[in-house]
Amino acid sequence: MTSLLTFLNKQSLDRRNLIKGAAALAATAATTTAASAATVAPFGQLGSPTQSTDPLPLGPLPGARYPDSHLESAHPKASFGPAGFPAFAGTMAVERVATGMRWAEGPVYFPAGRYVLFSDIPNNRIMRFSEDDGHLSVYRQPSMNSNGNTIDREGRLITCEHSGRRVTRTELDGSITIIADKFNGKKLNSPNDAVVASDGSIWFTDPVYGIGGYYEGVKAEPEQEKHNVYRVDPKSGDVRVVADDFVEPNGIAFSPDEKKLYVIDTGFTDGPDNPSHIRVFDVNVEAGKLGNNKVFADMPKPSITDGVRCDRDGNVWLSVGWGDPKEDGVRGYNSGGDLLGKIHIPETVANLCFGGQQRNRLYICGSSSLYAVYTSVQGALKP
């Protein structure tokens, strides 16, 4: 009888312990779920492709003939093609090579694979255009609302992310390394564009566009008081401010000899008295210092320039959009700031890069589409 009572008491105690354990586990799970729901938000919305209209036609733009009227020299004269403008390469025309994006941005060319990667920011994806067969595909989704992309000297992708509020590097094995996401212990605003110097240092801009709403990022309050240009040291990884007097720093590029740094200010988007121009700095790459800056070129307001690239001859190529449709496209300047000519695109243009096996094909991100045109110069960006 005693053994039976002992057994029953033990069973009752085990049941009570089991119930207590289950209750504690449930409470822990509920707490974990609540904490997770309270602290984790989606990293930007995923794509919602537009299917209500037919995609734009690919190929040479309507009305194209040789020489293409979409190329306009700033100093026309009676000769073959738009004289004095290195966008002219002879028997060629501006082509639409891909379409179907909501807002195309940040193109970069990978010579080893002969493809262009570029961001479709609202659709939260990086797209890949294969130059050899014209195939368009999704490279990465979600992309943390990626914006500007570039390539380092080892052939790795460097990406500025709006919703991630960071600059990342995609390693050769596909893993992702965070290059910069904070400064002075506070989150970056929304890194926009980047360039890599020959010493491996990464220079990037940090306006607030990506945290202004939920369309191209995740709405948040800025933690950085100023909208800075930063440099990431190639050895220590330290992040340092190199310029802090921009309203909205945007596109960024080095001259071919890395003695000049070009940085766009699109502050006009924040107010009519703010700048819509590109500035040029003297730069000491190894020391990470800028000096002697001046306005390189003004844009015709309300248009703004967003992206910038240089060719090997030192010419500066700028995107143009958001204003007079007749100004939509690309502007080319010589190193002294003189306008050489324009490439007219039927959409607002956000950014551009040189590609092709000879680095003589200019790829242009124009709103919903990717455009391309052969030029008589070669892009300066390496590799």
From CA 383, how far away is CA 380, in angstroms rounded?
A: 9
From CA 45, how far away is CA 60, in angstroms rounded?
A: 33
For residue 156, the one-letter residue type is: R
From CA 378, how far away is CA 360, in angstroms rounded?
A: 4
Whether residue 317 contacts residue 311, with contact meaning beta carbons closer than 8 Å, is answered with: yes
Whether residue 161 contacts residue 193, with contact meaning beta carbons closer than 8 Å, is answered with: no
> DSSP letter string over 273-316?
TS--EEEEEEEETTTTEEEEEEEEEE--TT-B---EEEBTTS-E
From CA 145, how far away is CA 168, in angstroms rounded?
A: 12
From CA 155, how far away is CA 144, in angstroms rounded?
A: 21
Residue 19 CB partners (closer than 8 Å, separation 6+): none
Q: What is the pLDDT of residue 30?
A: 43
Query: ∠ CA 214-215-219 to the nearest 5 degrees?
Result: 25
Angstrom CA distances, 146 to 161, 271, 350, 380, stand at 4, 25, 14, 23
Whether residue 73 contacts residue 83, with contact meaning beta carbons closer than 8 Å, is answered with: yes
Whether residue 150 contacts residue 194, with contact meaning beta carbons closer than 8 Å, is answered with: yes
Residue with tokens 């007079």: 324
From CA 163, how far away is CA 230, in angstroms rounded?
A: 18
Angstrom CA distances, 312 to 46, 231, 373, 376, stand at 38, 23, 17, 11
pLDDT (tens place) for every residue of the chain, 383 residues total: 445 445 445 555 454 554 454 444 444 444 444 444 455 667 787 777 666 667 789 999 988 888 888 999 998 775 677 778 999 888 889 999 999 999 999 999 999 999 999 999 999 999 999 999 999 999 999 999 999 999 999 999 999 999 999 999 999 999 999 999 999 999 999 999 999 999 999 999 999 999 999 999 999 999 999 999 999 999 999 999 999 999 999 999 999 999 999 999 999 999 999 999 999 999 999 999 999 999 999 999 999 999 999 999 999 999 999 999 999 999 999 999 999 999 999 999 999 999 999 999 999 999 999 999 999 999 998 87
From CA 61, how far away is CA 79, in angstroms rounded?
A: 23
Residue with tokens 């496209």: 329
Q: CA nearest 138: which of 148, 155, 124, 150?
A: 124
Residue 168's CB is within 10 A of a number of other CB atoms, namely 21
Q: What is the pLDDT of residue 19?
A: 44
Q: CA nearest 98: which of 303, 364, 308, 360?
A: 364
Whether residue 159 contacts residue 149, with contact meaning beta carbons closer than 8 Å, is answered with: yes
Q: What is the pLDDT of residue 52?
A: 62
From CA 154, how far away is CA 342, in angstroms rounded?
A: 33
Q: Which long-range contacts (CB under 8 A, 24 or more apart) does 239-246 make?
A: 239/180, 239/182, 239/183, 240/288, 241/183, 242/203, 242/288, 242/289, 242/290, 243/281, 243/290, 243/293, 246/205, 246/207
From CA 166, how far away is CA 162, in angstroms rounded?
A: 7
